[in-house]
Structure 1
Amino acid sequence: MPAAESTPFVSVIVPVYNAEKYLRYCVDSILGQSYTNLEVILVDDGAKDSSPAICDEYAAQDDRVTVIHQTNGGISKAQNAGLDAAHGEYIAFADNDDILDRRNIELLLHALLSTGADMSKARWRQFGVSQLEEVAADAAVGADAPGTITVFEHPLAAYQTVFCKSLRLIGDKLGRHTEARYFNEANWCRLYKRELWDGIR
């Protein structure tokens, strides 16, 4: 594989709104990725706390960070502004209260490049504000590479299956892979080929 293809450029889009308590954890986790050929687009969606200043601080410290300031329009408007500004061949989204595992982009990109898929998805876990330090420390270590990568050739069928509880339970009893349970409507914890977003906002 040519060197240029082995390190494609990735855009990580982060809508930001009143996130001063946890924004640094999020941005630090992105800038600390093991995969470094990326840009971070912080979209300040009219935040009324110190979040806009924190965004500008990161942009002044790291040239991979771009900040967009706009009047409040909601998360979709912020994500769309990020998409319009993105330069990457691959697109990822993070919420301003997410903490990404150190190898998140590396492993998601590996899954795409090794399978030819259009989108890759990882597991995630919920945590509370009281766990920020602990989760950030765990994430900074970096996850082990997965033993397997499950490919869904018919993602709509997989999506429908995961929301049918009886099928999920039967699958568990039969010892089937249950990775589909991590399908949901959120766009974070995924990596997309950029062309999936062409013409879509």
Structure 2
Amino acid sequence: MKLLRRPVERDRPPIPDVAGAEYSYAQVMEVMRSLELSSCASRAKLVDMETRSVRRVLAVKPDGPWLVLINGTTWNVESRNAGVDTSFAVSRLALLPLLERPRDEVERLAEQALGPDGPDIAEALQAAIQCGLSGPSEYWISRALAWVINDEVGLFAGLLREIAVGRSRSQATQHAAKRLLKQNGHWPTTWRPPHS
């Protein structure tokens, strides 16, 4: 589905698509909402409502969306409007506001809801981090950098390198990414970024 090009808003950074066209945050959210609404009305459900078990684990915001566990094994996001109708690859964008809270608080709340024998919350938290690191917003990148723990640096090394050498990021953000890479042995001491 191709978005129609509209003037880019001044208050939010543009979001580039694969072909290089830029879309505003509002345009992206408008498409996300239309996908949610159309999925309710006309698309087949991803999982049959009678056969699945959906368990709310964590409220991203007080009134939703919610991080949910489907059939005790699959992470997804339940929205206020559409329920659980989109794939986790699409719906995980709704997890970004979790990055505004301390990671240990989010882990503690999720672990309380899951219990001692529950599945590992790391997959869902790593999805939120990946969305933040790969987004165009300096704000979400800096929030995601604060969430990356030493054990995850290898997992996100490619994205962290892009941020560390990228010319479009603030110096503080570049240095934070580089620091994580260096501290965990993922930054070669002889490598220099190419000059443009």
Q: Give the structure with the larger strand fraction.
A: 1
Greater Cα radius of gyration, structure 1 or 2: 2
Interval containing the TM-score (normalised by the shorter chain): under 0.3
Higher relative contact order (CA 8 A, sep 6+): 1
TM-score by length of 1: 0.22
